[in-house]
Amino acid sequence: MIPRILEKKLIELSGYYPAVVVTGPRQSGKTTLCRMAFPDKPYVSLEALDIREFASIDPRGFLAEYRNGALIDEIQHSPDLLSYMQSDIDARPEPGRFILTGSQHFGLSQSISQSLAGRCGILVLLPPSLEELLTFPNAPKDLFSILWQGAYPRIYDQNIPAHQWLADYTTTYVQRDVREVINIGDLQTFSGFLKLCAGRTAQEINLTAIGNDAGVSHNTIRSWLSVLETSYIVHRLPSWHTNIRKQIVKAPKLHFFDSGLACYLLGIREPAQLYYHPLRGAIFESWATSEIFKMHVHSGVTPRIFHYRETRGIEIDLLIERFEGMDAVEIKSGATVSKTFFKNLEHFSDRLKNTAARNSLRKNIVYGGDATHKRSTIQVLSWHDIHKLMSHK
């Protein structure tokens, strides 16, 4: 298995807190990461029904088996265990006793906030970033193959064809995970909703339009989107609000975390189809946005990222707030830099001319070509140099 950037933060937090929780989507590599980081800790998984029953029926007895600590996998299957763990931790608050993983953030977060608030560190592990992914010996080197295959590690670690693995993952997610959270009578309708969301990646969210297309109510769509978001299938990119005297669209954008999953749901069956696909730009924008999100959370930092669009005027695909300023990023899938790429960035800079933000604004373009260079005040980054957004001066 490849090394993960989050390991450094995981080990750091284990030196502060009695428990550290690593959450994220299924199959993102949480168990592998934790076992690599803590090879000497006893490992127990609540995925197994007998172990889960033991932890649920006799939580004190279960914790007594691991009085010196353990790596407990899939903790969401026994949320009540966390209440008993609170007392155990309060009695013996040594740092790093328990390392917990959980896939279903929706059930897990509430239990943690009720039982382990102030007693644990919380980290998120998403599928590998591009920087991590390219350490797999069999990782593709061209952009469209990377977009099409996505970043779930088992595809690369086990050499499973991406289309096959993503089909199985989708079926498992819908038939198992979703049913554990919400009562869905018609799984086919939810599957259709999932595909509709893939067709709207990198678009502003319109609950009414999605509901009309899916044939369900506005409130149902709101609930279903929350499930997708809290299980790390999608995330909402909020609109950036400021005192600029323009009418600004306030709707968030919808982005899939994994471009390969979006491609599968859209029926894209091979990388070459992306060359002429009408959603190529949207898929690339979601991929780039996800990469920035991963760079933050895998460093243990809460992302402060936004989009910006005026009702009648410019739009910026991504705004990244930094302690010392802000990055404005235009994301273009084309392999050739065009002068049209620069237009919105320059106009946005003009919008900030009477604000303190203008002097600390960095302007960037991430595009589908191979050459990274600087043009005047704008940094032009090849897709494979996207990580430099977090470090360039």
For the chain, the average pLDDT equals: 91
- If one compares 173 and 341, the residue with the highest pLDDT of the two is 341
120 lies in the same domain as 168: no
SS3 of residue 312 by DSSP: coil
Least Cα distance to 170 among 192, 153, 146 occurs for 192
Burial (Cβ within 10 Å: 0-12, 13-18, ≥19) of residue 113: exposed
Structure tokens at 226: 């929350």
Mean pLDDT, residues 180-207 taken together = 87
Could you tell me if residue 334 is inside a domain? no
pLDDT range class, residue 350, cuts 50, 70, 90: confident
150 lies in the same domain as 110: no
The count of structural domains within the chain is: 2
The pLDDT of residue 336 is 95
124, 150, 166 — which closes off a domain? 124
147 lies in the same domain as 263: yes
Q: Render the burial of 137-165: b for 16+ CB within 10 Å, e for the rest.
A: eebbeebbbbbbbbbbbbbbeeeeebbeb
> pTM value?
0.93
147 lies in the same domain as 196: yes
The terminus-to-terminus CA distance of the chain in angstroms comes to 33
Which of 113-117, 122-126, 355-359 shows the lowest per-residue confidence on average (mean pLDDT)?
Answer: 355-359
Cα–Cα distance measured from residue 317 to residue 329, given in angstroms and rounded to the nearest whole number: 6
Question: Which pairing describes strands 361-367 and 378-382: parallel, antiparallel, or unpaired?
Answer: parallel
The pLDDT of residue 359 is 61
44 lies in the same domain as 156: no
96, 124, 152 — which closes off a domain? 124
108 lies in the same domain as 147: no
Mean pLDDT, residues 74-86 taken together = 89
Structure tokens at 373: 């260079």
> CB neighbours of 329 closer than 8 A, spacing ≥ 6?
288, 292, 316, 317, 318, 319, 320, 364, 365, 366, 389
> CB neighbours of 167 closer than 8 A, spacing ≥ 6?
264
Taking the CA atoms of residue 93, residue 10, residue 77 and residue 163 in that order, the dihedral angle to the nearest 10 degrees is 180
The pLDDT of residue 393 is 40
Length of the chain in residues, anyone? Answer: 393
The 10s digit of each residue's pLDDT in 199-215 is 999 999 999 999 999 99
Q: What angle do CA 43, 44, 46 make, to 5 degrees?
A: 150
Mean pLDDT, residues 271-290 taken together = 97
CATH for 164: 1.10.10.10
Cα–Cα distance measured from residue 288 to residue 387, given in angstroms and rounded to the nearest whole number: 10
225 lies in the same domain as 84: no
Angle at which helices 207-214 and 187-198 pack, to 10 degrees?
130
Single-letter amino acid, residue 378: I
Percent of the chain at pLDDT > 90 equals 72
44 lies in the same domain as 151: no
CA 247 from chain center: how many Å? 30
CATH for 23: 3.40.50.300
Structural domain span for residue 153: 130-238+251-279
Could you tell me if residue 256 is inside a domain? yes
- Asked whether the predicted pLDDT for residue 358 surpasses 60, the reply is no
Cα–Cα distance measured from residue 313 to residue 1, given in angstroms and rounded to the nearest whole number: 47
